[in-house]
Structure 1
Amino acid sequence: MNILDTVNQITRSFDQVESIVQALPFAVVLTNEKNEILYHNEMFEQMLGKKEIAYLLLQPLKLLLNQESLEFIQIGMNLHTEINGNPYVVRKEAAYVHGEKHYLYVFSSVEQLEQLLNINREKSVLQETVMEYAYDGNAIIEENESTKNEFKEQNKALFNLQDIIGDSSSLIKVKQETEKVALSDSSILLIGESGTGKELFAHSIHHASKRSSSSFVKVNCAGVPADLLATELFGSGYGEGSATATRISKVEAADGGTLFLDEIDELPLHIQVKLLDFLQETEVQNVGSSVTKKLGVRIVAATNKGLEDLVEEGEFSLDLYNRLNGVSIQIPNLIERKRDLTILVNHFIHKFNSLMQKQVKRLSKEAEEKLYQYQWPGNIRELESVLERAVNLVEGDLIEVTHLPDKLLTTTLNPIVPLADLIEKTEREALLTAIDQANGNRSKAAQLLNVSRTTFYEKLTKYDLV
């Protein structure tokens, strides 16, 4: 069944109430048993800033959201309600997109969505039922004793070292280092330019560790407003016993597993102090609470900036830096592993062929040359974007230069100068400089160049400088 058939089959089953779902002011998603997207409303498209149905449908929800760099603030929260005496549980999630909070409601089966929507076709009833959970601070949110286990099941490492593609020597070396350090419980600092795949390495570390059966929890330190970040990481003791107290903090959710702090350089100083305390004491005290909890969490942090410079500027804690930098891994950029370019190109062509139902086979020789000439400041993420654009534009099976963005077409390689010519040019310039500094005294010029008078005069003759 192709994507359009999937859309038609799903929408036909509740065509009379689809207008209600489309009118809701928050995202609604229907997934199958593999957590692949079968249906979504327009608010979900707006949330991601994408309009291509083919891009969104049949993608794993969690993988798609990770690709879109959405920072979850609530994951797997169960909303229990009754409509006409029938119990229903809908998964509620929320994420920050460009600093704005969005709600996402996930239905796990066609039947569940059909039943909920068909109970009453009056728009007002459905609106009131779901809107209560979205905007009423006193909404009844029920979280049973298995919340942590549910969270754990939903937050597994998505990638392992085999998913990091390439066979260049620099990449192989880093993968070998990663495999070794993953076995310990030491904190790890991943250092690399934007787009080099630091998050893939973080997932791989968790997957290869003794903690792989427990949660892998990601926090983008730049993606959550500073005034909320401390509570997100360490929880809140306010309102204990109320619905708002049922949400667990990130460090608690990662207990027994791995907490991945992406863009650690964006962590505010007052939260750096609290994180350092947590690393030293391995216990957490919720904001506003006197209760202390002992936890076992491994920290993996990532940065694309020089933390040493931030330490010198007083923007990053030296103690926290030393604590995190016990084991550091430098992720190579794409220029350092250009041997992997062909492998990565083939991988992304295959990926976008599947998503767009295309039959692209390869790049033309001229287009391939342009890819090798380009310096790739955005690294693998930029390469993926370029190839997504190209596969979108191509009509046949060959990606031509015309399918590449202009920034690649204006790139030219520096001309290769023969080594002999380069040596001669350098020697001639050295002779002239020495004679000038010796005020024309050639014996002194020879001494400055640390060569004998015989060799000096031979060089002068060779370059016609006598």
Structure 2
Amino acid sequence: MEFVGKSKETIKIKEYAEKIANSDSPILIYGETGTGKEVLVDYIHKVGNRRNRPLVVQNCAAVPANLLESILFGTTKGAFTEATDKKGLFEVADDGIIYLDELNSMPIELQGKILRVLEDGMVRRIGGLTEIKVDVRVIASVNTEPFECVNKGFLRRDLFYRLNVFYLKLPELKDRKEDIKELCEYFIKYYNEKFKKHVKGISNEVVEIFYRYDWPGNIRELKNVLESVMNFKDGGVITIEDVPEHLIVNEKGLAEMIEEFEKSKIAEALSLNDYNISNAAKYLKIPRQTLQYKIKKYGL
């Protein structure tokens, strides 16, 4: 996926990413789940001087803590039962970039070994006696505010300050809604190619609905919504009939909610007064002519 968007926030992040892309210093990224942290890392790799070298990605929350150390640092034959001589991800990423996603999920004791790699560029495989020199740029991300991670003991303070040479914060989609239309165009093109479809775009009405929705799942939620829609649509334009119901319900404005309430109360008054308009008008404390107009308006 490309780092898509033309909002002021996105342009600012892109410009900053391009300025730091050629440095060897570590980067710390903070962003809520679904904001595109891995996409940003891929962009930094693509525009930087390590673009032709490996980009190795590891989600620290995706594997059990007791396996993460061997995955990152490798193993030596005989270190434990069935252990073999095997490179860890830091060795695999030599001359390139390693991206540690959800670093705040990594055990504190293992974070100390990450700090040592940052300080002297040396790794030691589990069970090994020799140290191996690696030239790896480390990019790490957290999905909780960094100082909160430190204060709650999820992130070592010394590791935080070592990583925080360059800091990037990815805003939630609700704070960069100017990017929604371009993101939709990108995902529609992507799923057209993937599903062999011919969808041309989205209607202005759907654009407005998307703009009013808060997207708690961020870009990932938008992508999933469009994937769902395009599984059922072969061509044409995406309209309100194609949009998941929860987006429609959540985007109702105050005027629409007031009208629904008014309609229900008028229906209730008519029922209680055996559909006698004069008595229903007295019950609602409004003129008879006003009630007749509203009955016609709401088709009651």
Q: TM-score, normalised by structure 1?
A: 0.52
Distance apart, 1:415 and its partner CA: 5.6
Give the structure 2 partner of residue 218 of structure 1.
Answer: 57
Unpaired runs of at least 5, structure 1: 1-158, 417-466
Given candidates 369, 376, 379, the residue that maps to 2:215 is 376
Q: Deviations over 1:171-192 (max 9, x none)?
A: 0011000000111111001111
- Alpha-carbon distance change, 205 to 365 in structure 1, aligned in 2, over 3 angstroms: closer
2:121, 2:135 within 8 Å by CA — same for their partners in 1?
yes
Give the structure 1 partner of residue 275 of structure 2.
Answer: none
Q: CA RMSD in A?
A: 2.0
Give the structure 2 partner of residue 404 of structure 1.
Answer: 243
Give the structure 1 partner of residue 35 of structure 2.
Answer: 196
Identity %: 37
Alignment of 1:280 onto 2:108: no
1:232, 1:249 within 8 Å by CA — same for their partners in 2?
yes
2:45, 2:51 within 8 Å by CA — same for their partners in 1?
yes
Give the structure 2 partner of residue 291 of structure 1.
Answer: 130
Q: Deviations over 1:396-426 (max 9, x none)?
A: 512222222222011236669xxxxxxxxxx
Give the structure, 1 or 2, with the largest relative contact order (CA under 8 Å, sep 6 or more): 2
Q: Within 5 A, what are the aligned runs for 1:26-175? A: 163-175=2-14
Give the structure 1 partner of residue 184 of structure 2.
Answer: 345
Letter in 2 for 1:269: I
2:122, 2:133 within 8 Å by CA — same for their partners in 1?
yes
2:78, 2:127 within 8 Å by CA — same for their partners in 1?
no
Q: TM-score, normalised by structure 2?
A: 0.79
Question: Partners in 2 of 1:351 and 1:293 — Cα distance?
Answer: 42
Given candidates 102, 119, 122, the residue that maps to 1:263 is 102
- Aligned to 2:15, the other structure's residue is in SS state helix
Distance apart, 1:314 and its partner CA: 2.0
2:198, 2:234 within 8 Å by CA — same for their partners in 1?
no
Question: Partners in 1 of 2:95 and 2:19 — Cα distance?
Answer: 20
Q: Deviations over 1:307-362 (max 9, x none)?
A: 21121122221001111112111112212221111111111112112222222112
Larger relative helix fraction: 2
2:76, 2:86 within 8 Å by CA — same for their partners in 1?
no
Give the structure 1 partner of residue 280 of structure 2.
Answer: none
- Aligned to 1:361, the other structure's residue is in SS state strand
**Whose Rg is larger?**
1
Question: Partners in 2 of 1:262 and 1:337 — Cα distance?
Answer: 22
Given candidates 169, 173, 176, the residue that maps to 1:334 is 173
Q: Deviations over 1:267-316 (max 9, x none)?
A: 11111111111211210111111111111111001111112112112222
Question: Partners in 2 of 1:367 and 1:201 — Cα distance?
Answer: 27
1:370, 1:411 within 8 Å by CA — same for their partners in 2?
no
- Aligned to 1:217, the other structure's residue is in SS state strand
Alignment of 1:237 onto 2:76: yes
Letter in 2 for 1:217: V
Alignment of 1:208 onto 2:47: yes
2:31, 2:169 within 8 Å by CA — same for their partners in 1?
yes
Unpaired runs of at least 5, structure 2: 256-300
Given candidates 297, 301, 308, the residue that maps to 2:140 is 301
Question: Partners in 2 of 1:209 and 1:357 — Cα distance?
Answer: 34
Given candidates 143, 153, 157, the residue that maps to 1:314 is 153
Alignment of 1:185 onto 2:24: yes
1:220, 1:262 within 8 Å by CA — same for their partners in 2?
yes
Aligned length: 254
Question: Partners in 1 of 2:199 and 2:89 — Cα distance?
Answer: 42
